[in-house]
Chains A and B, each alone.
Chain A
């Protein structure tokens, strides 16, 4: 994707070695982050996040559906990511599909927790309306508008912001429906319930270049990576998911070290995002 000459590659690698990256950042520093919520009024919740030149939109739509027969007490959540050719001509046609799938799967893994629902950022049981009959289906869509590295972290943060922007209509279930009958529902268009997002983890990707790892890599830096580990971490400091990219193998002790570094960084990131999200919400209310 990004073609770099040998001299530039060495410059980037050398900068990471000396803890002074091409744009002057230290290894553990993020680019400026800005968040805007409510960008898609037709959705139940939405947000746009910009990290440097990377820009993504996330939207949350809630629809009533039937719970899965195997898990009658839970709602359903689906996460999809699309890479718009607007961001990169390479994503034209089916060109973005591979990356989209990779990002979707990684987000799913990072946000949805284990099969039993433990560690999930979204509490599926809170989505149930009538057990075994009606539940909310949450569709979370990410769209990459401009890409300059660190897409996964940006998408994770955008989804977190979109979820805190999400209002789910209050639903009244008519009593009396019995047996297999689908009960009547009354969806309120005035009363909305705020979604609880305190449990939604953040994703921190550590990109390993040479002997060191960096956060928030630009696409130029990503082209120099040997491998990258994306860790999703909850506010409590628990690991909620992890995936590794890049071909090079890693020593297990390095992985442990990366996880603890990621945990440390996640604390700052969570605080940063929280303040940005509440500022964005305040801005939106003003309008």
Chain B
């Protein structure tokens, strides 16, 4: 699957953005609403940044109840297969423009769950990520820093992952199908031994 290289194209676009776009980008960057969805254990560091100590509302970032209202989707930590399905549905329900922040090492390469049968290794294969934060789990300062970085990216028009999703939908869809639309067992061992149990079950 061909992936369009955005780096150059965006830089070219940067110059001839209209004033109106610049203004909207500024407003958008100052009012990022994040979806209140704790997908993994990284969500534990969200309450501190939202509350008194770090107070992310200073930047206009507030949690929102439903994907319809939100601008940012936070993937807080590992995404299990079940969660990934819900994340994709949630992401597709969000109106554009929308951004995704991936938290923690486990969203990049699986982290300590790299060999688990139920967690996705690289979240970026299924939905486009704008920024990834390293660490397990990332410290609030890191999250805050990322948020500010995202704000700057939005302001300068660099955060265009949602565009990437639209343009390369085939690639993402194929990966998603590989994960969810399984019709047969993956490993050979399954066909040998699991059948027995099924018939056993129906006899009861």
Partners in one complex: no
